[in-house]
Structure 1
Amino acid sequence: MPSQIGCVRRPQKLISTMPNAAPIQVLIIEDHLIMSTALRLLLNSQENLCVVGEASNKDTARQMAASMAPDIVLLDLFLTDGESVSLIPDLLSLSPGARVVVLTGAPDTALHRRALTLGATGLVLKEQPADVLLSAIERVYQGEVWIDRSLLAELMTPVPPPVAGPIDTLTHREREIIGAVGLGLRNKQIAERFFISERTVHNHLASIFRKLEVGDRLELAIYAGNHGLLEQAPPKSA
């Protein structure tokens, strides 16, 4: 069930230097009750922060984002129903004025990159002191991007290009020959179709078998059918 929270005001140090600023309304999305409670107590102890709700799963988070219209969504990277990164676009769509700060304890650079790509503007490690989180909320609320320094170097490391799969290594001619094999043509027929020698066809097939790790023409035809390679088959001769 969604948990709507009333704010407890205590005469603590303001995290904002703006006088008479309206409280920053925060929605906490965290599936561990102790962690969620600790965050609520911390944030509500600040005079210009107000926790307006707490959610522990994706469905509740969507409901509260739509109904509470928070300024900041404090989002744990993992919830009981899976990683929460995919939730970010929904939160921003349901609450267009919100900004998302992700709390992470996972050393997963790819997931952190994805969170930022999907619209998060803050990334804070759970192991950091409370002051870091408070500063991150303030900066993100003011329109800045906050990324923990220890994560910044990893995120700025270039992503290596994906390793080519076996299909990517096939030449255009090899793809044509695979299509011809799928039509049931023998080496001599393939050679005549493409105006090459049977020896060249044999060499191409040996290369194809090696690249795709298949043992014979039947395995090749099955592999090609499963991976859409037969769609490139040349038309049968009249």
Structure 2
Amino acid sequence: MRTETGTTERTHERVRLVILAAHAVVRAGLRHLLDNRDDLVVVGEASSCEEAAAMAERERPDVLIVDPDAEQITLRALPALAVSAGRIIVLTAAKDNRVHARAVQLGAAGVVCKDQPGELLVRAVEKVHAGEVWLDRAKTAGLINLVLRRQRDPEIVKIETLTKREKEIVRLVANGLKNSPIAEQLFISEATVRNHLTSILSKLELSDRFELAVYAFRHGLVDDALMHSFVLGSDNGNTHVDIA
């Protein structure tokens, strides 16, 4: 920019942002917060992962802000989105360290909780754009411990591939329910239950429902107190478990 004295004043290029959030009111609020700054500019909004991927390919934003709290936007989309977006910040209401760790594992450079002040998101954008990682200070120790646990127990990575519905079915199987009552409780067909079980066994590399029930208790997918609900008795020292 040319000044009145004829010298050239160097201007800072604005950080280009794309917002991915399912709800229009969330996108509008984020745009209002971020677009009112001289150093930031929102170049696009998207309500789905597909729309965001196309927009990132076209706009090549410096930072993509992702709200994964709606069903149609999941953390599993982060690797694909990272191909075109410079850096990714996840904005979430989730407090669970596992969600934050999963976001980082899948490519997020920053995670911001929704109950934090708006100015904190602005700072996160600035730091992430500068090449740093932004994490909630109070959660950093927990995230490090979780990463170390993953290194010790590779099964955690498998468990995180299960969908919410699949985890519900795992808990019900471990609680001794057969396909028919599971279907009734979840308001789905028995065929759908069987399909979910096939997917679960494949993801966890297990052979049958008995192995699944044992696996669920061993890896904390259900409360140990439920064990009594499907132990029916013993014969010659062998325990019988009704999970057919």
Contact kept in structure 2, 1:57 and 1:79, CA below 8 Å: no
Question: Distance in 1 between the 2:236 and 2:138 partners?
Answer: 50
Q: TM-score, normalised by structure 2?
A: 0.57
Q: TM-score, normalised by structure 1?
A: 0.59
Runs of 4+ residues deviating >6 angstroms:
none
Contact kept in structure 1, 2:15 and 2:40, CA below 8 Å: yes
- Give the structure with higher Rg (CA): 1
Give the deviation of 1:47 after TM superposition: 0.4
Q: How does 1:118-197 map to 2 (within 5 A)?
A: 118-158=106-146, 159=149, 161=153, 167=211
- Render the CA deviation track for 1:155-209: whole Å, top value 9, x for unaligned: 123437459x9759x9xxxxxxxxxxxxxxxxxxxxxxxxxxxxxxxxxx967x5
Letter of the 2:88 counterpart:
V
Q: How does 1:1-238 map to 2 (within 5 A)?
A: 20-82=11-73, 84-93=74-83, 95=84, 98-158=86-146, 159=149, 161=153, 167=211, 209-210=238-239, 213-214=240-241
Contact kept in structure 2, 1:75 and 1:101, CA below 8 Å: yes
- Render the CA deviation track for 1:67-104: whole Å, top value 9, x for unaligned: 1110000001223414x2111101112x1x51000001
Give the deviation of 1:118 after TM superposition: 1.1
Question: Distance in 2 between the 1:142 and 1:46 partners?
Answer: 17
User: 1:20/1:116 Cα in 2 relative to 1: closer, same or farther (>3 Å)?
Assistant: same
* Secondary structure at the counterpart of residue 77 of structure 2: helix
* Secondary structure at the counterpart of residue 157 of structure 1: helix
Question: Distance in 1 between the 2:118 and 2:99 partners?
Answer: 23
Letter of the 1:66 counterpart:
E
Which structure 2 segments of 5+ residues have no match? 1-9, 157-205, 215-234
What fraction of aligned residue pairs are identical, expressed as a percent? 33
What is the RMSD computed on CA atoms of the aligned residues?
2.9
Contact kept in structure 1, 2:22 and 2:72, CA below 8 Å: no
Which structure has the higher relative contact order (CA within 8 Å, separation 6+)? 1
Question: Distance in 1 between the 2:65 and 2:56 partners?
Answer: 11
Give the deviation of 1:142 after TM superposition: 0.5
Which structure 1 segments of 5+ residues have no match? 1-18, 171-204, 224-238
User: 1:206/1:64 Cα in 2 relative to 1: closer, same or farther (>3 Å)?
Assistant: farther
Task: Compare 106-115 and 124-133 and name the one that shifted more.
Answer: 106-115
